[in-house]
Chains A and B, each alone.
Chain A
Amino acid sequence: AQSVTQLGSHVSVSEGALVLLRCNYSSSVPPYLFWYVQYPNQGLQLLLKYTSAATLVKGINGFEAEFKKSETSFHLTKPSAHMSDAAEYFCAVTRTGNQFYFGTGTSLTVIP
């Protein structure tokens, strides 16, 4: 079975500080991993995805994530938080492309 666990349902950072959102996956084989961002009452926007190529994946808006097989992790980072980064972030995993499993989400608050 596949699943993802997002540690921390709420994360607060100061503007300009490092953003770190944690995601651990459970999969018997190397999966496809995704990070999505959701603004209030909107759909999901893809930030980045890992598809077994480079382990360090760069996405939009300055976000990046590193696939670490030994730790079964795919944490999302951004060096310097902006106010506009405040949103809900979801980690997701799929192996077959037919079934997506989403984490429970992390709400990011950016403090001015």
Chain B
Amino acid sequence: GAVVSQHPSWVICKSGTSVKIECRSLDFQATTMFWYRQFPKQSLMLMATSNEGSKATYEQGVEKDKFLINHASLTLSTLTVTSAHPEDSSFYICSARDWTGGDYGYTFGSGTRLTVV
């Protein structure tokens, strides 16, 4: 089945630094990928929709200059948290969409636990 690899699985960084999270579709091409944020004991909130070769579409309230998304190829999307602060600490999950058997399929990465100290 479809596999999405997300790295790193956890990262600790100092306040003010930037962190890059990668999301790769391993055995399929994903024109569209999604980035979610999940706070403890809460649901997933869509941050942005990433389309290969074009600018990401950000949800209301998400700072595009802080959460930089790049989808340069059909198998890789990256999320860079710039100038991270403790309030950015969260669980970030990506999802890749593919079209198989006449239907959309959505595969989630295993998530990245970001802790900003």
| A→B interface (CB under 8 Å) | 32, 34, 36, 41-46, 51, 90, 97-100, 102-105
Contacts and interface: CB of A to CB of B under 8 A. Distances in A.
Nearest to B46: A100
Contacts of A102: 43-45
A100 B34 contact: yes
Contact of A43 (B10, B32, B49, B93): B93
B103 interface: yes
B15 interface: no
25 contacts: A32-B104, A34-B106, A41-B9, A41-B10, A41-B111, A42-B111, A43-B4, A43-B6, A43-B93, A44-B108, A45-B108, A46-B107, A51-B103, A90-B44, A97-B104, A98-B32, A99-B49, A100-B44, A100-B46, A100-B106, A102-B43, A102-B44, A104-B42, A105-B41, A105-B42
Contacts of B4: 43
Interface in B32-53: 32, 34, 41-46, 49
Contacts, number: 48
Interface string B41-69: 11111100100000000000000000000
